[in-house]
Structure 1
Amino acid sequence: MTIPYPEHVTVVVTTFITVVIAVLLHYEALWLISHQIEKSRRPHRQRILAMAFGVLMTHVVEIWLFGITGWWLTEQLSIGALHGYDNFNILDYIFFTAVTYTTVGYGDIYAIGPVRFLYGTLALTGFVLITWSASFTFIEMQKHWRVGR
């Protein structure tokens, strides 16, 4: 039996793997940040700022993970494409991924073909991870915020 659309299967499997890696990365990063805040003897301000930068860097790494995945699927495997202008490079993929991950959706670049599944799933994943980070930040700040410092 042959699979009628093997490129679709490739995108779905690749998307699943990328989402799993991103969620596990997010979990581990938030756990590490929380653990570091708990054991740190640094002043309150430094701990909160370190937490904020740690969360932001985690999102940047996840955006790059999805951006490289999108680039690999389209440029290396020729499964779909990005449209909007000519001659896309890796940073264009990162930009499009960041816009999709944050659900901003400017619309100047758009995906066509099977790779659309990756970017559709990316929007949901980004939304979930960003709200997870917001909840985490709120809880950590409640635990560690000191009035007057």
Structure 2
Amino acid sequence: MIETVFITALLVVTASIIHFRVLRWCYGMVMGDDRRTTHPMLLVIGVIFVAHLAEVFLYALGYLVMELWLGVGTLNGAREGGGTDTLFDLFYFSIASYTTLGIGDIVPTGPMRLLTGIESLHGLVLIAWSSSFTYLMMEQLWGAEVEGE
């Protein structure tokens, strides 16, 4: 169980740092003195989307470590690999958990369930953070356009 708590905490901290760094970089690209884009909102949305995919993949790697290397849980249900989990299965399960979609065709067992619950909560927080960031960027960019007219 201690391995599960350690991996979960490590993933939450790492994904949060990635998200923070990506949003800071994005803000600098769009609002900084050396603006490098003519379509700032497309950049914001695209970069945030890629960041979320990277964070989901990070959690999928966490499931891989927990299942195959540490043996602290498994994923049961309809899997692409038949009897063994493939990276596609882990990514699919991770994205369903991260987005709180929770389809239910793949179910975790053992201590791995803790990571699944935390991933859902963390995904919800990061998605909300991205939404508020996007809103603030739209407000600043579109407010500047109206003032400039």
**TM score, norm. by length of structure 1:** 0.89
Q: Counterpart in 1 of 2:37? A: 42
Deviating more after overlay: 77-86 vs 134-143: 77-86
Superposed CA RMSD in Å reads 1.1
How is 1:78-117 mapped onto 2 (pairs within 5 angstroms)? Answer: 78-85=71-78, 86-117=83-114
1:84 aligned partner, one-letter code = G
The answer to whether the aligner puts 1:20 opposite 2:13 as a matched pair is yes
- Contiguous gaps of at least 5 residues in structure 2: none
Give the Cα–Cα distance (whole angstroms) in 1 for the partners of residues 29 and 53 of structure 2.
Answer: 20
CA distance in 2, matches of 1:108, 1:75: 20
Identity of aligned residues (%): 31
Question: Counterparts of 1:107 and 1:60 in 2: how far apart (Å)?
Answer: 20
Q: CA deviation at 1:88?
A: 1.6
Structure 1 CA distance for aligned equivalents of residues 64 and 84 of structure 2: 12
* Alignment-mate amino acid for residue 121 of structure 2: L
Q: Give, in angstroms, the shift of residue 87 of structure 1.
A: 2.4
Task: Structure 1: give runs of 5+ residues left out of the alignment.
Answer: 1-7
After superposition, residues 1-149 of structure 1 pair within 5 angstroms as 8-39=1-32, 40=35, 42-43=37-38, 46-85=39-78, 86-145=83-142, 146=145
The answer to which of 64-73 and 33-42 deviates more is 33-42
Give 4+ residue runs of structure 1 displaced > 3 Å after superposition. Answer: none
Q: Distance in 1 between matches of 2:89 and 2:36?
A: 41
Aligned equivalents of 2:36, 2:62: Cα separation in 1: 39
